[in-house]
Structure 1
Amino acid sequence: MNKLLSMGTVMFASMLLVAGCGNMGDNAEKDNREEADIITDQEKEGGNRETGDAYGFNDFNLEIDVNNEDAVDAEYKVEEDFKPEYENKMTKVDLEGAKAMDELDKMFITTNLESNMSGEEARDKILEYYQIDEYSKFELEIEFDDGKKLNYKDQK
């Protein structure tokens, strides 16, 4: 009898817990309910677009010359005074800060650069993104969050 009473008490307490934490209340169907925040794994680790470290690297420098003239220059470094820079002379764009970050964000997401890539793979993805077939100089330096570095230079 004692076991039955203990088991019944545990079941009753469990039911109360589930009912109290459930979503069966009077406000469950109302639009003004608070929504849960969705947090990505990168944000859990401290990385997000606002702080500049959501791409798997914290230092990025790119220089592409076409016909021996500057075509694309991009600088992105996560630090206390975070100010990305982006210049694309082919499209006559010269940006700093949040506007530069908007342009870099598009490129970073599209190219999806990773620490296990070769310099040639990274170069090919970046050139494809900018739709550049021929270049006279390509320099890329990336310092990834995992400590790996990618330094790639090619001059024609």
Structure 2
Amino acid sequence: MNKLAAMGSVVFASVLFVNGCGNMGKDANKDNREEADIITNEQKEGGDRDTGDGFGFTKFDLEIDVDNQDAVEAEYEVEKDFEPEFQNKLTNIDLKDEDAMAELDKMFSTINLQHDMSGEEAREKILEYFQIDLYSKFKLDVEFDDGTKMNYEDKQ
């Protein structure tokens, strides 16, 4: 009798376990049910470029002058209540907040700045993105997630 009671307890516990961990609930086949989020260490520390939760840097400040006139200005910072800004006077664009962030997102994804990239390489990618051949001033300040900084300035 003791063996039978022990076996019955094991079977009962197994049934409870399978039902508790299984996906047999009434909402199991619905499209809108919530899925578990998996968060990587990189995302906890500010995001990463691969998941789209970050760009690999916490600060980005860009100024480009053409013929000694402001041509492009972009400012982005990971900070509470920060309002991103983007201006391209060559194409008459002046954006703030979400509109600026949408434009910055396109630029950041295209130029794909890396912490080990030289200032000259970053300059070339950015000038190519904006299709600028000649400039009078180029200034770029970037603070990457890993703490490295890129401060590059060039005047012609």
Q: Which range, TM-score by smaller chain?
A: 0.7 to 0.9
Q: TM-score, normalised by structure 1?
A: 0.77
Aligned to 1:121: 121
- CA deviations on 1:63-92 (whole Å, 9 max, x unpaired) are 111222211011122333311111100110
Aligned to 1:133: 133
| Range moving further from structure 2, 86-95 or 133-142 | 133-142
Q: Distance in 1 between matches of 2:143 and 2:98?
A: 21
Identify if the C-alpha distance between structure 1 residues 77 and 27 changes in structure 2 by more than 3 Å, giving closer, same or farther. closer
| Residue 112 of structure 1 pairs with residue 92 of structure 2 | no
| Residue 88 of structure 1 pairs with residue 88 of structure 2 | yes
| Range moving further from structure 2, 76-85 or 113-122 | 76-85
- CA deviations on 1:30-71 (whole Å, 9 max, x unpaired) are 34x5221545535433549xxxx8222122110111222211
Mapping of residues 2-81 of structure 1, within 5 Å: 13-14=13-14, 16-31=16-31, 33-36=32-35, 38=37, 41=40, 42-47=42-47, 54-81=54-81
Q: TM-score, normalised by structure 2?
A: 0.77
- Can you give the 5+ residue segments of structure 2 that lack an aligned partner in the other structure? none
RMSD: 3.0
- CA deviations on 1:126-155 (whole Å, 9 max, x unpaired) are 112112222222110111121111011111
- Can you give the 5+ residue segments of structure 1 that lack an aligned partner in the other structure? none
Task: Decide whether the 8 Å contact of 2:27 with 2:33 is kept in 1.
Answer: no
In the comparison of the two structures, how many residue pairs are matched?
Answer: 150
